[in-house]
Amino acid sequence: MLGKFLIYLFGRIIKVMANIIKLLCYPFHYLFPKKRFTLPVHAKPLFKSHKHTNIPKTLWQTNFTNKVTLPVYINYLFNRLMACTYDYRFMITEDRAGFIKTNYSSEIFENYSKIQIGAAQADFWRLLVLHNKGGVYLDIDAHFIWPPGSIIKPDDNELYLTTKDGGISNHFFASKKDNPHLAKMIDIVMVNINENTLKNVYDLTGPAILNQVLENMDVNTKNYRYICYQGNFTNEFFQYIDKPEGKWCEAQKKIDIIKK
């Protein structure tokens, strides 16, 4: 119980610190509006860990661009420190497509290619990359509040994050490769794309898929307060400053999610 309290307290301290940093980034980008920082495609662990884990020590992230604002870059640096024993892998839009084309069937790649909204593509990709390679997925605007190497136990095969309402989110999850639960999620996304009746990213490729598969199942979950938070180091302004169409919830109002 004391351990949980310390993690929660540490998380609150990080949240305050991150929001202060975010505020300080406004004058920086006012003075340097075109300044961007580059996220690496690959970064080796800062420290080697020889402890065997069922879930590979790889942290996966994606974004529409690798040229990011200062708060997004600081968010990345903070996660690198928290996940210091993890291999870091990052993909932009084109790299995601290349990965899927190389590692999956033509049917999966063709369905993925029909998706017109980047967030929905990223939803599908994170299922595919963790099923194929295993590891930890974390949204680009999320940050750990405790080292994942301490949160994820050596014999864990998967770990999901629960939200305030008790549902399961997809802005973080961890899995060994060839996880049958992820395989079921991939199958559901394929059906959703083929049927093309859902008009919301959340339902078509997003957290609804995880909840549909894992509902009433005894799977390894932890509350978000002990794993990661979102939107403290950064926000929509800094994340989508170079994307006129904005966040996915705005984009889906203007175009179909699935190409007809």
Residue whose C-alpha is closest to residue 139's, from 85, 227, 81, 60: 60
Task: Give the residue among 188, 50, 58 at the shortest CA–CA distance from 134.
Answer: 58
CB atoms within 10 A of CB 81: 10
pLDDT at 255 over 80: no
DSSP H or E segment with residue 143: strand 142-144
What the block records as the tokens of 44 is 């080796």
SS3 of residue 3 by DSSP: helix
Q: 7-16, 47-56, 117-126, 250-259: which range is least confident on average? A: 250-259
Domain of 42, in residue numbers = 2-251
Q: Give domain status of residue 260, yes or no.
A: no
Q: Residue 259 domain-assigned?
A: no
Cα distance between residue 159 and residue 216, in whole Å:
15
- Model confidence at 242: pLDDT above 80: yes
State how far the Cα of 248 lies from the Cα of 120, in Å rounded to an integer: 8
Residue 162 pLDDT more than 90? yes
Residue type, 80: R
pLDDT at 156: 98
Quickly state the pLDDT bin for 250 (edges 50, 70, 90): low
Secondary element (H or E) of residue 107: helix 106-114
For residue 42, what are the β-bridge partners?
89
* Mean pLDDT, residues 86-91 taken together: 98
Residue bearing tokens 């998967």: 158
| Burial of 188: CB neighbours in 10 Å, binned 0-12, 13-18, 19+ | middle
| pLDDT (tens digit per residue) in 110-142 | 999 999 999 999 999 999 999 999 999 999 999
Assigned domain for 159 exists: yes
The number of distinct structural domains making up the chain is 1
SS3 at position 132: helix
Report yes or no on 176 lying in a domain.
yes
Lookup: tokens for 239: 């994340």
Cα 118 to Cα 93: distance, rounded to the nearest angstrom: 7
Confirm whether 216 is domain-assigned. yes
Cβ neighbours for 122, distance < 8 A, ≥ 6 positions apart: 62, 96
CATH code assigned at 167:
3.90.550
In a domain, 179, yes or no: yes
Q: What is residue 258's DSSP assignment?
A: B
Residue 43 belongs to some domain of the structure: yes
Q: What is the pLDDT of residue 48?
A: 87
Contact present, 79 and 223 (Cβ < 8 Å): no
Residue 238 lies in a domain: yes
